[in-house]
């Protein structure tokens, strides 16, 4: 069975496609090194237009208007610029009401695309631009440690990692976030206090990595002005030992936090990335993002009762297995890695509830 | 039904769903078409594969393992027709429900007439209507242009002008569309379907076709009183196919396998519902509900006239958070048999977003999954009830019309741990009325069968006849409001053996009367306390013959509309009691 792959790995090479939602302008060149906050492309995703009725302004019919128009299709204009003039004495003038570009002229009217603030696409990762996608974006290549998360609030930033979660079961309190955490990315555990998220904003965090988040804080976390990433999911879930070990081993190192939400159709997911300067891996070694389940793979269980637990896949069971709640599904037998929170050593789980961990 | 003159053609039906890809192989066996084999695999349309054919190849491999027949070669693709060695297949039908909903806009004259018809037409596709423009739209021309540019539609449906009616106003509506399309890069321009006043169809085509692809369909609103969506189905389906293939080039191969007839799965499902409504005696409608991972389809047909809608934001997969636009966390939690908090439901929803194909293993997760399914069904029924024809026979406003049968599809309903759980979800979610047979699409093949029926109608009939669908229960739901434990229905069952069973059903109870598949019985029903079971009027009863089914005869005397106790512990007690009755 095909299963999704999740990465918690100390060294890997990644290629990430960064795409504008609509065609726009690519602002970087191939081979250019970028930081996560660098703008690599921009586009006007909320266009605004102004229809200027020149005929009415000049007091003439639509058919006669064109000869008096002084600016043309594609011209950039500024507010107050003369668009059309008629007559020498008692002349009538039509001026541009806004800054913009003329995009259509016909029927005595001029359509102006108003200059608006463009949407700016950030690089999201510290790496090198390896490919330009005409009018759409770029592909960035980077090498380093990667932890893929479960949830993110859409923000992007980077900064040194400050570890508060020295144990996987850590719980974040407002008092944890003080002046000493200003301008850093904080690694905390579970968060259930709204004031802790508020304190994060006041401390101007560059990012907050959590193991889990209380569901009632979802809206607040989404609106937080800094990136928030949750590695395990909603509820009260401690870090899985593999991710925790990797994250705390990177204390003080610079970390890129790309909290883009998981969206399979757009191929985005929240990721924590610690860049390594010397990029050694080749494109041939780029890891896959889905694979066939097979014995001896390291897997993570995605649903209760072992949600978030890491195990080794021992065997794919033949046929259909009936679970205690009556569920009938293709199943696999897994053996849990040493984890004090897991009382059993083995379990049968639906294959659909496994992701391959690399 | 068998046919000695059957043309022995085999058919492969492939259904690419948002989470699961299924393949069904049908062939002629002993004078009739049968479902010979089926395969199931994850859908691979989205990243990292971006190519549905990987999932399709997996299901074809499974069919090969079962039948020994090779369906496709890696290099040359599907083998059509069957070759002398018995490999390949004679025809392929493809249905698709995977992929993001189409971005669409509806344009028409009057909001509640032609704009609504344009929206109704779009609601038969996996589509999201981002905006609509009507004659009374108060926005300036440039604001309407901006609205179109912001929506970035894949498809715009323009309706308006009854036959022989307005034509000038419709032409004016076209202006912002033409300008907006002109401003868009060529490869981003939407397809346009004009389904309005036929007098100006050519004019619309002339105005727009230099800028965007325009197709013309018969008027979906030929008069103020009548809406004819079916007349535009062929065109809208083709536009859907063109857009899907444009956005995902590997789908072209699948589309070619089906001879360019790739069908939205929802339309395949609706076709079968419509077929049933022609086959069953008139007087009642036929209802079909397909609860999927990324959408839910409801199709009701009355004497062959179809009323069909897809809710592309209601499903049990990654779209699940949208359910909260229709209901609350508390309303979802009330359907569980244990104390589940709103935040636990929220966490469950989020986990389903992350892992849409994952399955509930614990009893608590199972209850939450089924609670979500109930609320999705209820949301869909609530939103659809007002759209059923006013002439549809029913017990009263706000209630579901009388239906016979009700076809139910979707894994959560068809693959529940027990049939009793399936039925209780359906009863709680749909609140059926009167006497109806609940038919379960146990292999989730109805959509594929709908597409197959276009190529071979006999195949669909024969496959249904040979037990591909399961009769889950004959359900009798008196429409009545009464005090708890007041008798509302007197029932006498006479089995083929002559044995009789009599019982009085009290308000608030569920009862199950065994009648196994293959058996028949006579039912004599006498509504009490002015209960209405759809046999003419309130209080009127009668006799009827019923066939056996997996759950037999189930009488749902809990009242319509169904009221749950506001006391959590009493409510849970009721659930346990109802489930126990059905599982007995």
Q: What is the Cβ-side half-sphere exposure of residue B79, based on CA atoms within 13 angstroms?
A: 17
Q: For B498-512, what is each residue's pLDDT tens digit?
A: 999 999 999 999 999
Q: Which residues pair with A313 in a beta bridge?
A: A334
Q: What per-residue confidence (pLDDT) applies to B2? A: 42
DSSP A69: B
| CB of A290 less than 8 A from some CB of B | yes
Residue of A nearest to B149 (CA): A47
Q: Are A274 and A257 in contact (CB under 8 A)?
A: no
Q: What per-residue confidence (pLDDT) applies to B47? A: 76
Residues of B in contact with A260 (CB under 8 A): none
| Residues contacting B491, CB < 8 A, separation 6+ | B476, B501, B502, B503, B504, B505, B513, B523, B524, B525, B526, B555
CB contact under 8 A, B361 and A350: yes
Residues of B in contact with A329 (CB under 8 A): 359
Q: Which residues of B493-524 are buried (b: 16+ CB within 10 A; e: fewer)?
A: bbbeeeeeeeeebbbbbbbbbebeeeeebebe
Q: What is the Cβ-side half-sphere exposure of residue A305, based on CA atoms within 13 angstroms?
A: 14
Greatest CA separation for chain A: 96
Instruction: Please report, rounded to a whole number, the percentage of residues in chain B having pLDDT higher than 70.
Output: 99
Please give the C-alpha separations between residue B503 and each of B424, B487, B488, B540, in angstroms, as whole numbers.
Answer: 21, 10, 11, 17
Instruction: Please report, rounded to a whole number, the percentage of residues in chain B having pLDDT higher than 90.
Output: 76
CA distance A51 to chain B (A): 6
Residue of B nearest to A349 (CA): B361
| Interface predicted TM-score (ipTM) of this complex, two decimals | 0.87
User: What would the mean pLDDT of A211-237 be, rounded to a whole number?
Assistant: 94
First to last CA, chain B: 34
| Residues contacting B249, CB < 8 A, separation 6+ | none
A residues 82-121 near B, CB within 8 Å? 103-104, 111, 113
Nearest residue to A124 via CA among A253, A259, A281: A259
* A24 phi, psi to nearest 5 deg: -155, -140
Residue with tokens 């009415």: A56
Q: Are B576 and B337 in contact (CB under 8 A)?
A: yes
Which of A85-94, A259-268, B538-547 shows the highest mean pLDDT? B538-547
Q: Are B356 and A319 in contact (CB under 8 A)?
A: no
CB contact under 8 A, A22 and B48: no
Q: For A140-197, what is each residue's pLDDT tens digit?
A: 999 999 999 999 999 999 999 999 999 999 999 999 998 889 999 999 999 999 999 9
Structure tokens at B570: 């009493």
Q: What per-residue confidence (pLDDT) applies to B3? A: 43
Residue with tokens 């401390």: A203
Residue of A nearest to B367 (CA): A325
Residue of A nearest to B355 (CA): A302
Q: How far apart are CA B316 and CA B339, in angstroms?
A: 22
Q: How far apart are CA A18 and CA B39, in angstroms?
A: 36
Please give the C-alpha separations between residue A206 and each of A52, A109, A149, A183, A262, in angstroms, as whole numbers.
Answer: 45, 49, 17, 5, 20
Give the 3-state secondary structure of residue A312. strand
Residues in chain A: 358
Least confident of A300-304, B376-380, B517-521: A300-304
C-alpha B436, offset from chain centre: 18
What average pLDDT does chain A have? 91
Sheet of B191-194, strands arranged across: B127-133, B102-107, B155-158, B191-194, B214-216
Question: Would you tell me how many other CB atoms lie within 10 Å of the CB of residue A255?
Answer: 28
Specify the pTM: 0.92
Residues in chain B: 584
Q: How far apart are CA B83 and CA A336, in angstroms?
A: 50
Q: How far apart are CA A240 and CA A229, in angstroms?
A: 15
Q: How far apart are CA B377 and CA B265, in angstroms?
A: 18
Give the 3-state secondary structure of residue B561. coil
Residue of B nearest to A219 (CA): B346
User: What would the mean pLDDT of B416-432 be, rounded to a whole number?
Assistant: 97
Least confident of A75-79, A248-252, B246-250, B437-441: B246-250
Can you spell out the DSSP letters for A238-295?
Answer: PPPHHHHHHHHTTTTSEEEEE-PPPBTTTTB--EEEEE-SS----GGGPPPSEEE--T
Residue of A nearest to B179 (CA): A104
CB contact under 8 A, B354 and A325: no
A residues 240-269 near B, CB within 8 Å? 262, 264-267
User: What would the mean pLDDT of B463-481 be, rounded to a whole number?
Assistant: 93
Q: Are B584 and B578 in contact (CB under 8 A)?
A: no
Gyration radius of chain A over CA positions:
27
Gyration radius of chain B over CA positions:
25
CB contact under 8 A, B48 and A267: yes
Q: How far apart are CA A142 and CA A244, in angstroms?
A: 22
| CB of B353 less than 8 A from some CB of A | yes
| CB of A282 less than 8 A from some CB of B | no
Residue from the list B149, B359, B361 with its beta carbon closest to the beta carbon of A305: B361
Nearest residue to B211 via CA among B231, B235, B192: B192
Please give the C-alpha separations between residue B84 and each of B13, B29, B30, B91, B93, in angstroms, as whole numbers.
Answer: 21, 18, 20, 16, 22
Q: For B137-189, what is each residue's pLDDT tens digit?
A: 999 999 999 999 999 999 999 998 888 877 777 778 899 999 999 999 888 89
CB contact under 8 A, B142 and A51: yes
Q: How far apart are CA A135 and CA A27, in angstroms?
A: 10
Q: How far apart are CA B56 and CA A64, in angstroms?
A: 62
CB contact under 8 A, B361 and A267: no
Tell me whether the omega of the peptide bond preceding residue A351 falls within 30 degrees of 0, making it cis.
no
Q: What per-residue confidence (pLDDT) applies to B315? A: 97
Q: Are B475 and B435 in contact (CB under 8 A)?
A: yes
What's the helix, strand, coil split of chain B in %, to 5? 35, 25, 40
* A299 phi, psi to nearest 5 deg: -130, 160
Taking the CA atoms of residue B343, residue B348, residue B353 and residue B355 in that order, the dihedral angle to the nearest 10 degrees is 150
Residues of B in contact with A350 (CB under 8 A): 358-359, 361
Q: For A315-325, what is each residue's pLDDT tens digit?
A: 999 989 999 98
Q: For A260-299, what is each residue's pLDDT tens digit?
A: 998 877 888 999 999 987 655 554 455 566 678 999 999 9
Give strand ranges (E) for B453-519: 470-477, 487-495, 500-506, 509-513
What average pLDDT does chain B have? 92
pLDDT band at B6 (very low <50, low <70, confident <90, very high): very low
Q: What per-residue confidence (pLDDT) applies to A284? A: 46
């Amino acid at each position: 069975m095909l299963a999704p792959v999740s990465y918690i790995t100390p060294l890997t090479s990644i290629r990430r496609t960064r795409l504008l939602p609509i065609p726009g302008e690519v602002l970087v060149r191939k081979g250019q090194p970028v930081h996560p906050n660098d703008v690599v492309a921009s586009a006007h995703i909320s266009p605004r237009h102004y229809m200027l009725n020149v005929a009415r302004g000049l007091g003439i019919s639509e058919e006669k208007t064109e000869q008096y128009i002084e600016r043309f299709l594609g011209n950039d204009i500024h507010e107050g610029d003369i668009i059309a003039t008629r007559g020498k004495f008692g002349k009538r003038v039509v001026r541009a009401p806004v800054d913009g570009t003329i995009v259509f002229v016909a029927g005595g009217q001029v359509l102006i695309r108003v200059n608006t603030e463009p949407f700016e696409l950030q690089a999201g990762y510290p790496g090198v631009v390896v490919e330009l996608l005409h009018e759409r974006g770029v592909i960035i290549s980077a090498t380093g440690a990667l932890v893929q998360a479960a949830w993110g609030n859409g923000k992007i930033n980077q900064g040194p990692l400050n570890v508060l979660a020295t144990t996987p079961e850590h719980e974040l309190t407002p008092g944890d976030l003080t002046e000493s955490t200003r301008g850093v990315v904080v690694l905390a555990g579970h968060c259930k206090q709204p004031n802790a998220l508020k304190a994060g904003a006041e401390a101007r965090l560059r990012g907050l990595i959590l193991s889990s988040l209380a569901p009632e804080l979802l809206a607040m976390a989404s609106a937080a002005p800094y990136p928030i990433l949750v590695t395990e999911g909603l509820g009260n879930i401690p870090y899985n030992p593999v991710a925790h070990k990797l994250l705390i081993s990177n204390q003080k190192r610079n970390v890129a936090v790309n909290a883009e939400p998981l969206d399979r159709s757009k191929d985005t997911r929240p990721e924590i990335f610690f860049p390594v300067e010397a990029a050694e891996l080749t494109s041939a070694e780029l890891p896959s993002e889905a694979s066939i389940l097979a014995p001896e793979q390291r897997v993570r269980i995605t649903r209760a009762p072992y949600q978030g637990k890491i195990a080794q896949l021992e065997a794919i069971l033949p046929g259909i297995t009936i679970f205690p709640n009556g569920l009938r599904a293709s199943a696999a037998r897994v053996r849990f890695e040493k984890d004090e929170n897991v009382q059993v050593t083995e379990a049968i789980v639906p294959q659909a509830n496994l992701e391959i961990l690399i | 039904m068998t046919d000695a003159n059957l043309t022995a053609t085999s058919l492969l039906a492939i259904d690419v769903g948002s989470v699961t890809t299924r393949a069904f192989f049908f062939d002629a066996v002993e004078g009739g078409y049968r479902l010979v084999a089926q395969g199931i695999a994850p859908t691979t349309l989205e990243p990292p594969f971006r190519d549905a054919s990987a999932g399709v190849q997996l299901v074809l491999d499974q069919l090969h393992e079962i039948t020994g027949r090779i369906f496709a070669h890696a290099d040359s693709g599907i083998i059509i027709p069957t070759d002398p060695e018995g490999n390949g297949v004679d025809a392929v039908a493809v249905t698709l429900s995977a992929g993001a909903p189409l971005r669409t806009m509806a344009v028409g004259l009057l909001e509640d007439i032609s704009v609504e018809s344009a929206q109704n037409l779009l609601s038969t596709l996996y589509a999201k209507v981002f905006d609509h423009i009507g004659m009374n739209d108060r926005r300036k021309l440039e604001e309407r242009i901006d609205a179109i540019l912001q929506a970035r539609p894949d498809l715009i449906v323009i309706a308006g002008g009854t036959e022989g009616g307005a034509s000038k106003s419709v032409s004016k509506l076209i202006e912002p569309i033409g300008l907006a399309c002109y401003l868009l890069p060529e490869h981003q321009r939407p397809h346009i379907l004009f389904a309005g006043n036929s007098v100006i169809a050519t004019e619309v085509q002339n105005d727009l076709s230099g800028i965007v692809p325009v197709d013309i369909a018969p008027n979906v609103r030929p008069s103020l009183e009548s809406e004819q969506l079916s007349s535009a189905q062929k065109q809208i389906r083709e536009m859907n196919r063109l857009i899907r293939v444009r956005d995902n080039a590997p789908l072209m191969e699948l589309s070619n396998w089906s001879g360019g007839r790739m069908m939205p799965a929802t339309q395949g499902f609706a076709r079968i519902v419509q077929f049933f409504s022609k086959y069953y005696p008139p007087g009642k409608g036929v209802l079909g509900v397909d609860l999927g991972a990324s959408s839910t389809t409801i199709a009701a047909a009355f004497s062959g006239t179809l009323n069909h809608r897809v809710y592309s934001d209601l499903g049990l997969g990654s779209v699940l958070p949208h359910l909260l636009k229709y209901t609350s966390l508390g309303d979802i939690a009330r359907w569980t048999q244990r104390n589940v908090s709103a935040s636990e439901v929220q966490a469950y929803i989020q986990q389903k977003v992350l892992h849409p194909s994952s399955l509930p293993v614990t009893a608590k997760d199972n209850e939450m999954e089924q609670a979500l399914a109930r609320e999705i069904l209820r949301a869909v029924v609530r939103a659809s009830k007002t759209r059923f024809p006013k002439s549809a026979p029913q017990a009263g406003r706000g209630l579901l019309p009388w239906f016979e049968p009700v076809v139910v599809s979707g894994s959560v309903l068809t693959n529940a741990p027990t049939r009793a759980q399936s039925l209780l979800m359906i009863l709680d979610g749909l609140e059926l009325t009167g006497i109806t047979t609940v038919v379960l699409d146990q292999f989730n093949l109805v959509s594929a069968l709908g597409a197959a029926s276009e190529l071979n109608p006999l195949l669909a009939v024969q496959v249904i006849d040979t037990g591909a669908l399961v009769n889950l229960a004959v359900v009798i739901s008196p429409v009545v409001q009464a005090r708890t434990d007041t008798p509302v229905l007197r029932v006498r069952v006479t089995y083929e053996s002559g044995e009789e069973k009599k019982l009085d059903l009290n308000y608030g109870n569920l009862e199950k009367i065994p009648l196994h598949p293959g058996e028949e019985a006579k039912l004599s029903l006498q509504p009490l306390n002015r209960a209405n079971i759809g046999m003419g009027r309130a209080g009127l009863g009668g006799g009827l013959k019923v066939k056996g089914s997996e759950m037999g005869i189930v009488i749902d005397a809990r009242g319509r509309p169904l009221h749950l106790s506001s006391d959590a512990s009493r409510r849970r007690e009721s659930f346990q009691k109802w489930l126990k009755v059905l599982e007995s």
